[in-house]
């Protein structure tokens, strides 16, 4: 029988296997074999990784090495290495495996794979005395990171084995793999259930206890641009505004307003030919610019220009009607309205001729605020796109003497306020070697939250093999929320870590990221319960463990969602009021529960209707009481994970008249699990506010 089949066998024996992967510095005593090949004995465990001065070397298949290779002979317990010189003068760090279980076993070092030359049999010492309690919870959050946490694992020190390891070997953030098997130990009967890192071992004569941390630590990595450079400097940009020396070169997803560019043509002595070149974003390719062609009919007018495609053309965009392919003259209007096949604008002198091209830059509009006067600069006339293929950045160049177009008497000075609407790159995200997602019909570039989320995971360096790609694919087809954000959010900020960025997205789409039962990063969205995953009957709940807790503490009556954040607002200043806002109020909270309390959430939506939908969803979720069910069960629910729909079936349930002969049923969503060797603690929620309004979700 397979592992999944055995989960339904409540009487079957449950066991854990653990593979520790500590590191230690090799001895400086090496024996010369020949040429530049050396060896030394290593009897601490199975050597699996070897670093020389921080650089990982290539594991060879035998002791016949090429330069840069190493090999571990497990039978003779010898390390062979060839780095072109005597390794005694280098710091050689060896990562090795040691194997333990709750029951002794001879089994392959990777228990889920068939035996092979590299997956040889090892001995799992029966030294796990207190297995880890693998916990995952979202009970206090509708969105964000939901870490899987295991407090510790306790190991017997009866044989004093750990005295050999814990002093000189490092268990700081060393990998540990936890496997679960049921009944007979066979490859099909084993599942990798938890991957973590160890920290802070505690030793005494009888036991050694290791604290375990989950893999969310990877998201504490600071963001860096996946293409090109990440920071401004005067070596690459000699005329850089000194305020931005060593500051981040920003990334933009979607579209952001009030964006402050960076002057790389800085000169305190302003003329009409300096302070002209400005950088907005990292990466000079796949820019979010769009264009459309003017058809022969209907004929355009002085206030309306017809186009073959309005994708990406939005109100307040500055467009350049380029007549080079037509018979008219160039015009530079600002869009005031968009229809199915046209744009409206202020009166222009020369209506667009057939075959003219309407262009919108990735710098969608640009405003100069000088001497308390705001000037709307026009694309194609006052500024044009600028790209730098060497440093891989993009921005705009101001036309020499553009000031004359606006009757500005004093040239642009480096401390004048200049800001604009910036569109991020078009979609280049891939999954499985093919395109993942598409560009927005609203903006013409990548705006879909789920695709941006996935793109960030890949930018972090996570391979697709550790991402639940099936879930992302499904969500990409169902969740169409469009978002816009700059990284970092403000020009004077440092790069945030990935966790901060992803949490901003999660708050906007009510998403939760966590490690699923297959040890893959997955995304779940808060919403009405999906199809039932499992039904738990009354006799499967351990006696006296069922609890139904009704909580009124966190009810909120008035939701405020601020969205479309801007560095510079409509008052041409930076401040806390640089957001648009929508609200939603819960009559249930106010009239039924007699609660009047408001809370503000920040979203990275830029479309009002989507921000309003978020506010309404939060009203449903937070405008009613929380009803959480807790119970203990056994093996069959070991694979339960956050977001699963478990139907609870028992004669007694709140909300029903009691009838001992009739099962009462309620669908609930898992918000917390705590899995140990012999039992599983599960917490679910009835999502009353969400389910009562599921038709409006």
What is the token pair recorded at 470? 């099936």
pLDDT, greater one: 315 or 643? 315
| 317 is a domain residue | no
C-beta of residue 108 within 8 angstroms of C-beta of residue 122: yes
| 131 is a domain residue | yes
C-beta of residue 406 within 8 angstroms of C-beta of residue 362: no
For 67, 230, 605, the CA distances from 9, given in Å and listed in that order, are 53, 54, 47
CA distance 648 to 536: 5
CA 266 to chain centre: 36
pLDDT at 9: 75
Query: Residue 500 — φ and ψ, nearest 5°?
Result: -65, -45
C-beta of residue 340 within 8 angstroms of C-beta of residue 307: no
CA distance 284 to 228: 9
Query: Residue 189 — φ and ψ, nearest 5°?
Result: -95, 10
| 369 is a domain residue | no
* Per-residue H/E/C for 312-353: CCCCCCECEEECCCCCCCCECCEEEEECCCEEEECCCCCCCC
C-beta of residue 202 within 8 angstroms of C-beta of residue 44: no
pLDDT at 150: 59
Domain boundary among 496, 525, 554: 525
Residue 393: helix, strand or coil by DSSP? strand
- pLDDT mean over 642-648: 94
| 377 is a domain residue | no
Closest CA relative to residue 342, chosen from 314, 307, 316:
307
For 199, 283, 332, 435, the CA distances from 339, given in Å and listed in that order, are 60, 32, 19, 30
Q: What is the CA radius of gyration of the chain?
A: 31
pLDDT at 375: 97
CA distance 403 to 263: 17
pLDDT at 639: 87
pLDDT at 518: 87
Instruction: Look at residue 408 and tell me whether its pLDDT is greater than 70.
Output: yes
pLDDT at 574: 73
pLDDT at 44: 97
| Angle, in degrees to the nearest 10, between helices 469-478 and 449-459 | 150
- Average pLDDT over the chain reads 94
Residue 272: helix, strand or coil by DSSP? coil
The whole-model pTM stands at 0.87
CA distance 201 to 480: 46
Give how many domains the chain has, as a whole number.
2
CA distance 71 to 50: 9
Q: List, for residues 355-378, the tens digit of each pLDDT value.
A: 999 999 999 999 999 999 999 999
Alpha-helical segments (H) within 205-279: none
pLDDT at 405: 97
pLDDT at 517: 84
What is the DSSP code (8-state) at residue 480?
-
Percent of the chain with pLDDT over 70: 98
| 612 is a domain residue | no
pLDDT at 576: 56
pLDDT band with cut points at 50, 70 and 90 for residue 507: very high
Instruction: Look at residue 327 and tell me whether its pLDDT is greater than 80.
Output: no
Q: List, for residues 115-171, the tens digit of each pLDDT value.
A: 999 999 999 999 999 888 877 777 666 777 666 665 789 999 999 999 999 999 999
- pLDDT mean over 410-439: 96
CA distance 259 to 244: 15
pLDDT at 635: 83
Domain range for residue 485? 430-525
| 331 is a domain residue | no
Cross-strand pairs, 46: 97
Domain boundary among 459, 491, 525: 525
pLDDT at 148: 61
pLDDT at 250: 98
CA distance 475 to 401: 50
pLDDT at 677: 78
Q: List, for residues 544-572, the tens digit of each pLDDT value.
A: 999 999 999 999 999 999 999 999 987 88
C-beta of residue 67 within 8 angstroms of C-beta of residue 82: yes
What is the token pair recorded at 205? 């004569």
pLDDT band with cut points at 50, 70 and 90 for residue 657: confident
Give the lowest-confidence range in 423-432, 632-641, 685-694: 632-641
Q: List, for residues 271-316, the tens digit of each pLDDT value.
A: 999 999 999 999 999 999 999 999 999 999 999 999 999 999 999 9
C-beta of residue 335 within 8 angstroms of C-beta of residue 344: yes
| 63 is a domain residue | yes
For residue 464, give the H/E element and its range: none
| 449 is a domain residue | yes
| Angle, in degrees to the nearest 10, between helices 498-509 and 449-459 | 160
Domain boundary among 525, 556, 571: 525
pLDDT at 67: 92
């Amino acid at each position: 029988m397979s592992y999944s089949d055995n989960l339904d066998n409540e009487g079957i024996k449950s066991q854990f296997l653990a593979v520790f992967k500590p590191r230690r510095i090799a001895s400086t005593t090496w024996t010369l074999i020949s040429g530049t090949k050396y060896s030394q004995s290593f009897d601490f465990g199975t050597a699996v990784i070897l670093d020389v001065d921080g650089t990982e070397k290539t594991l060879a298949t035998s002791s016949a090495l090429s330069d840069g290779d190493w090999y571990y002979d497990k039978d003779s317990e010898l390390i062979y290495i060839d780095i072109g010189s005597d390794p005694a003068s280098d710091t050689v760090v060896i990562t090795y495996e040691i194997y333990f279980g709750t029951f002794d076993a001879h089994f392959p070092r990777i228990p889920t794979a068939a035996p092979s030359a590299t997956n040889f049999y090892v001995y799992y010492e029966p030294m796990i005395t207190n297995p880890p309690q693998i916990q995952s919870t979202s009970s206090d959050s509708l969105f964000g990171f939901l870490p899987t946490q295991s407090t510790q694992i306790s190991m017997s020190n009866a044989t004093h084995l750990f005295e050999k390891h814990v002093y000189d070997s490092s268990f700081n953030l060393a990998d540990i793999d936890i496997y679960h098997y049921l009944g007979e130990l066979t490859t099909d009967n084993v599942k990798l259930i938890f991957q973590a890192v160890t920290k802070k071992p505690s030793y005494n004569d009888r036991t050694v206890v290791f604290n375990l941390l989950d893999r969310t630590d990877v998201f504490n990595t600071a963001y860096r641009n996946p293409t090109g450079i990440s920071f401004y400097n005067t070596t690459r940009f000699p005329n850089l505004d000194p305020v931005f020396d060593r500051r981040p070169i920003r990334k933009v997803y979607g579209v952001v307003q009030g964006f402050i560019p960076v002057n790389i043509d800085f000169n305190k002595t302003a003329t009409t030919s300096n302070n002209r070149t400005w950088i907005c974003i990292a990466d000079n390719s796949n820019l979010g610019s769009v264009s459309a062609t003017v058809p022969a009919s209907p004929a355009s007018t002085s206030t309306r220009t017809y186009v073959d495609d309005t994708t990406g053309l939005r109100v307040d965009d500055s467009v350049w009607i380029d007549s080079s392919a037509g018979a008219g003259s160039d015009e530079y209007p600002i869009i005031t309205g968009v229809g199915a096949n046209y744009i409206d604008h202020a009166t222009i002198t020369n209506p667009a001729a057939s075959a003219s091209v309407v262009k919108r830059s990735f710098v969608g509009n640009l405003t100069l605020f000088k001497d308390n006067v705001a000037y709307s600069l026009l694309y194609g006339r006052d500024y044009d796109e600028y790209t730098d293929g060497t440093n891989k950045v993009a921005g705009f160049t101001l036309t020499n003497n553009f000031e004359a177009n606006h009757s500005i008497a004093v040239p642009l000075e480096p401390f004048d306020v200049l800001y604009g609407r910036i569109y991020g790159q078009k979609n280049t995200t891939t999954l499985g070697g093919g395109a993942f997602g598409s560009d927005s019909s609203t903006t013409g570039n990548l705006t879909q939250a789920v695709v941006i989320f996935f793109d960030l995971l890949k930018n972090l360096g996570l391979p697709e093999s550790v991402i639940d790609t099936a879930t992302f694919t499904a969500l990409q087809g169902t969740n169409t929320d469009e978002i816009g954000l700059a990284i970092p959010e403000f020009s004077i900020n440092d790069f945030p870590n990935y966790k901060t960025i992803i949490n901003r997205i999660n708050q906007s789409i009510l998403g939760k990221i966590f490690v699923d039962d297959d040890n893959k990063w997955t995304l779940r969205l808060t919403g009405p319960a999906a199809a039932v995953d499992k039904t738990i009957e009354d006799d499967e709940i351990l006696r006296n463990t069922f609890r139904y807790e009704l909580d009124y503490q966190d009810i909120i009556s008035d939701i405020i969602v601020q969205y479309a954040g801007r560095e510079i607002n409509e008052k041409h200043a930076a401040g806390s009021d640089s957001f648009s806002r929508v609200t939603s109020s819960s009559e249930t909270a106010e009239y039924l529960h007699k609660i009047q309390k408001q809370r503000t959430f920040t979203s990275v939506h830029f479309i009002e209707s989507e921000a309003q939908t978020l506010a309404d969803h939060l009203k449903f979720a937070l405008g009613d009481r929380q009803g959480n069910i807790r119970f203990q069960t056994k093996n069959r629910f070991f694979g339960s994970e956050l977001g699963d729909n478990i139907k609870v079936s028992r004669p007694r349930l709140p909300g029903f008249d009691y009838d001992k002969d009739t099962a009462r049923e309620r669908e609930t969503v898992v918000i917390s699990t705590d899995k140990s060797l012999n039992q599983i603690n599960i917490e679910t929620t009835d999502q009353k506010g969400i389910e009562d309004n599921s038709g409006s979700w």
